Amino acid sequence: MIKKYLLFFLGWLMFNNPASGVAEVVHSNTVYTYEKLSADLQKLNQIYPQEVSIKKIGMSHFGRNVWGVRLGKGEKNILMIGAHHGREWLTSSLLMVMLEQYAKAYHSGEQYGPFTTRIFDEISIWFVPMLNPDGVTIQQQGLQALDVGSSDKLFEMNGYSPDFSKWKANGLGVDLNRQYPEGWNHLKNMTPIPWYELYKGRISQQESEVRAITEFTKQLNPLIAVSYHSSGREIFWKYKNGDYLRRDKLLAEKVSLLTGYSLGTPLKNAIGGGFTDWFITNFHRPGMTLEISPLVGETNPPLSVFSEEWKRNELVGILLANEAVNMKNQ
């Protein structure tokens, strides 16, 4: 089954290019800021009012909106999240380009690669392209990202370094992907104080961004959830999957074949704390963390890798929508 699937996609990729048209609104060749994302969402909603709808699902600590955007009209949903971490904003660019390209094809009734976009009449994709807008802005702008009253604390949380390119946390120095309740109590080797990375907070779900996405996910009840991160070209999908282990592995293998990303092997006693861990445990449905880009260390992936990562991920959303059609609401 998987071999046939691989041969099908390899053949298709050799002779097809669904994104031959350059995105008209979202520009991936520039540092993608919260302000650009917010403006692009409004433009896409204006261009494709029947296909795209926008919803504020929450706010960051410093008052930036956490946006959710729906593509499609289906009652069933899948969820795709970007930028849990400040330095991982290239995932926001990726999801926004995906949103625009899918919306364009859906609007015109075109095929997208081997898939019909009519699938979005049955399945909606909800994108949360930038969960951590404060962290993204801090990583991109440094001390200028916050008001003067907050800059001293920000400087301290960055180890008194003026270089904020390594910043992962939110605006309060909490790592949002160490904030989910599944396994939170057992997280070890975390920093004990607010820091640019790896501080799990005083209690799980204390941060407004995490409360927003968990509440939104409960309301949405998605059949599949994907959280995009960087870097390493790896897929993490396994966390206490129980009776659904085979189902979830098969889906992860399909995404692996499509992207060329390897399937991550979690530690035997993986302890969790991340969104995917929480989703799999609470919903008993497939959840995945996709790490885009070759490994780059403690910084954002360079813009130069976007084209390759887009080619690898272009069909992920519509593939998952097709997989979700036949899933039962467990």
pLDDT at position 149 is 81
pLDDT at position 21 is 47
Exposure string of 36-59, with b = 16+ CB inside 10 Å and e = fewer, is: bbeebbeebeeebeebbbeeebbe
Interatomic CA distance for residues 136 and 37, integer angstroms: 11
DSSP output for 198-214: ----SSTT-SHHHHHHH
Sorted by where each starts, the structural domains of the chain and their CATH numbers stand as 38-232+246-316 (3.40.630.10)
- Give the single-character DSSP code of 117: G
pLDDT at position 17 is 53
Q: Which SS3 state, helix, strand or coil, does residue 70 take? A: strand
Backbone angles phi, psi at 270, to 5 degrees: -55, 135
Query: What is the full per-residue pLDDT of the chain (330 aa) written as tens digits?
Result: 555 555 555 555 544 555 444 458 999 999 999 999 999 999 999 999 999 999 999 999 999 999 999 999 999 999 999 999 999 999 999 999 999 999 999 999 999 999 999 999 999 999 999 999 999 999 999 999 988 789 999 999 999 999 999 999 999 999 999 999 999 999 988 999 999 999 999 999 999 999 999 999 999 999 999 999 999 999 999 998 888 899 999 999 999 999 999 999 766 556 689 999 999 999 999 999 999 999 999 999 999 999 999 999 999 999 999 999 988 765
pLDDT at position 20 is 45
pLDDT at position 2 is 58
- Give the single-character DSSP code of 128: E
Interatomic CA distance for residues 99 and 41, integer angstroms: 10
Rounded to the nearest 10 degrees, the angle between the axes of helix 306-313 and helix 90-108 is 50
- Torsional class of 293: left (φ above 0), alpha (ψ -120 to 50), beta (otherwise): left
* Contact present, 272 and 282 (Cβ < 8 Å): no
